[in-house]
A and B are shown apart, each in its own frame.
Chain A
């Protein structure tokens, strides 16, 4: 067992929660961290953060978009620039933004930065919609 901290610019989302495992959307793919993991630092992309609390069946999930994660000793510190819990996600809103973004990708010639941002929006919308609509899809 180890400790998890998740901080966002707007709040302290998770503070010193004792957990048995945590899965993060790391730089080179989804990664599950178990107790005794070597010290490491990675950046996080857009994806789902999941963690298990001992003695409870429920897996806690949240969507994050860009973050930083460090494993030091027996604690995992995550800084998430953007974080939303499933109950905070408005599917309609994301579906609308997904449509706009996809339309933009198909019809417009975008600059590199715009392209990156639009692709990011599409990713975010997909993750959010999946998290709400197909929770089993987001299971381990």
Chain B
């Protein structure tokens, strides 16, 4: 039986940990709300943009190099989104596992797989595995702004247009709800455009009339729109990833707080038992001492 002091020290340290995890949970909850808000605000813009492109492409019969699937995919670029900080459950390990598996599965299908890592966790993990990145970024959650996403996206578009890559894929955590995230691997270039059916979420957008005036020509408009849409997709993925991170951390910290509570309960029980035992022993000693004097 551990002595009383040891148990007391353990209870105190567990209490401290619990306080920290509780605080982290609250902070994550607040950040999650903000991130969720951001995703919601972006949706109308994203939907309208996508529908406009789909409409113009369909009615004007225009196509664009960014939309054309290349028949022979040889060079692939993977953009891997992780977080900068840990303590968020399976958030990062899910991504890195998926990326590892993807590499193992496709090593022989493609000539070259290149990487861009966003987030410190991913960078560190793949540095240990000696996977080289062509570029890496950190501090995603601090200044996630449209401009940051735009600069990355424009760079990707350039690489794709120059023909360095035939396919650009994004691996990130999709935000399902505060307690569940899903690792997804999305082909972001070439662009696939379909008119989404849940139109009502966006601003009322009606289909294009036949006698529409285009200024400039539809081909030029669609080029512009496609690039902007791509920027937006990257921004969306980043926002989802950040929201997922906070969600995952909130859940992880909730669990940690619960575990700490259970642990404290158990330790307190042990502490009381030990104390009781000590008292009993003392009593026995006194009684048997008294008996011996008779």
Query: A residues near B, CB below 8 A?
Result: 5, 7-12, 15, 26-28, 38-43, 66, 68, 70, 72-73, 75, 77, 79, 81-82, 113
Q: Which of A12, A26, A40, A82 is the one whose CB lies under 8 Å from B41?
A: A12
B87 interfacial contact with A, CB 8 Å: no
**Interface positions of B from 225 to 239, Cβ below 8 Å from A:** 225, 228, 231-232, 235
In chain B, positions 189-248 with a C-beta closer than 8 Å to chain A are 203-206, 208-209, 211-216, 220-221, 224-225, 228, 231-232, 235
* 3 closest A-B pairs by CB: A40-B213, A7-B45, A42-B215
Q: Are B213 and A38 in contact (CB under 8 A)?
A: yes
Q: Are B228's CB and A81's CB within 8 A?
A: yes
> Does B49 lie at the interface of the complex (its beta carbon under 8 Å from any beta carbon of A)?
yes
B209 touches A39 (CB 8 A): yes
- Does B216 lie within 8 Å of A8, measured CB to CB? no
Q: Among A15, A26, A113, which residue has its beta carbon within 8 angstroms of that of B215?
A: A26
From B38, B212, B221, B235, A43 is in contact (CB under 8 Å) with B221
The majority secondary structure among interface residues of chain B is helix
- Expressed in whole angstroms, the Cα–Cα distance for A38 and B225 within the complex equals 21
Taking a contact as CB atoms under 8 Å apart, the answer to whether A9 and B205 are in contact is: no
Contacts A10-B42, A12-B41; A77 near B214 (Cβ below 8 A):
no
Residues of B close to A10: CB separation below 8 A:
38, 41-42, 146
- Could you list 13 A-B pairs, sorted by A, with CB under 8 Å? A9-B45, A9-B146, A10-B41, A28-B216, A38-B211, A40-B214, A40-B215, A41-B215, A41-B221, A72-B205, A77-B205, A79-B52, A81-B231
**Chain A residue with the shortest CB-CB distance to B151:** A117
Q: A8 with B214: in contact, given A15-B203, A72-B206 (CB under 8 Å)?
A: no
B18 interface hit (Cβ, 8 Å): no
CA distance A41 to B52 in the complex (A): 10
Residue of B nearest to A44 (CB): B224
Which of A7, A15, A81 counts the most B-chain CB atoms under 10 A from its CB? A7
